[in-house]
Amino acid sequence: MSSPQKQRDSASSMASNRSVIRAVHVLRTLGASSRPMTATEVAQTMGLPRATTFRLLLTLEEEGFVEREDTRYSLGWDLARLAGGIDPATRLAPRVDGVIGDLAEELGETVTLSLRRGRFDLDLVVQANPRRVGMSVTDLPGQRWPLHASATGKLLLSELADDELIDATSGRLEALTERTITNYVDLRNELQTTRERGWAITDEELEEGIFSVAVPIRDSSGGLLAALSYVAPVHRIDDEKQAELTRRLIDGAERVRSHLNTAGALSD
């Protein structure tokens, strides 16, 4: 039977671990927000008492992980400094290579995984082509496209407030094909549709003859961590095929999420 002292030590350890987990969730909550948040807003988002949340924010502020301006909090300079030397792709990508490869074979189309970097950037870090002849596309990792014209870009833009769209797109919607969205009214309508259905689509908007769908992979706070997409020649995609591939892609995103969770990118 455990001694009273061991029981007290165990209880103290559990409480400390719980505080660490809550502090991490505070950081994730702030990171997922498009603007600084008050302690009350953080508490409501996390479902914690305001007093508990305030104590966590105060400690994180003292350590430089959180910054406060008046009554609003955002991620701090020291957190950015510590994270600056870490490339998440080098740690996470090898853990999901196999999953992405299997998914490409199942779909019979090219599948990509893009990790979010900051507010307005997505980096394509894993690409898998099916082994069947004539089914692959050019290697894509390292390339970037205008956000308004790609499925992954639209997914990211749909996470932002409308007043952030100008900054995210540098104030210009370049026409890449005849079907590219080139005005902000149409773009906002498209992003609202993306939010409602939960995934993004481009149909010959980035490149003629190319169709793509992207679905989100979210962290424990609900923020967009990554985008999983398939890229296919438009002549192979009809409404029935699109629905089937999108359903499989959504299922695949959950498998990728499970592997990223094992890698420590997520916490449930």
Confidence of residue 143 (pLDDT cuts 50, 70, 90): low
Q: What is the pTM of this model?
A: 0.68
Q: Which CATH superfamily is domain 88-263 in?
A: GAF domain (3.30.450.40)
Contact predicate 218/224, CB 8 Å:
yes
Q: Which of 158-167, 195-204, 207-216, 240-249 has the lowest mean pLDDT?
A: 158-167
Give pLDDT tens digits for 195-206. Answer: 999 999 999 999
CATH of 4-83, one of 1.10.10.10, 3.40.30.10, 3.20.20.80, 3.40.50.880: 1.10.10.10
Ordered by start, the domain boundaries in the chain are: 4-83, 88-263
Beta bridge partners of 116: 122
pLDDT band at 90 (very low <50, low <70, confident <90, very high): low
Largest CA distance in the chain: 75
Pairwise CA distance, residues 62 & 58, whole Å: 6
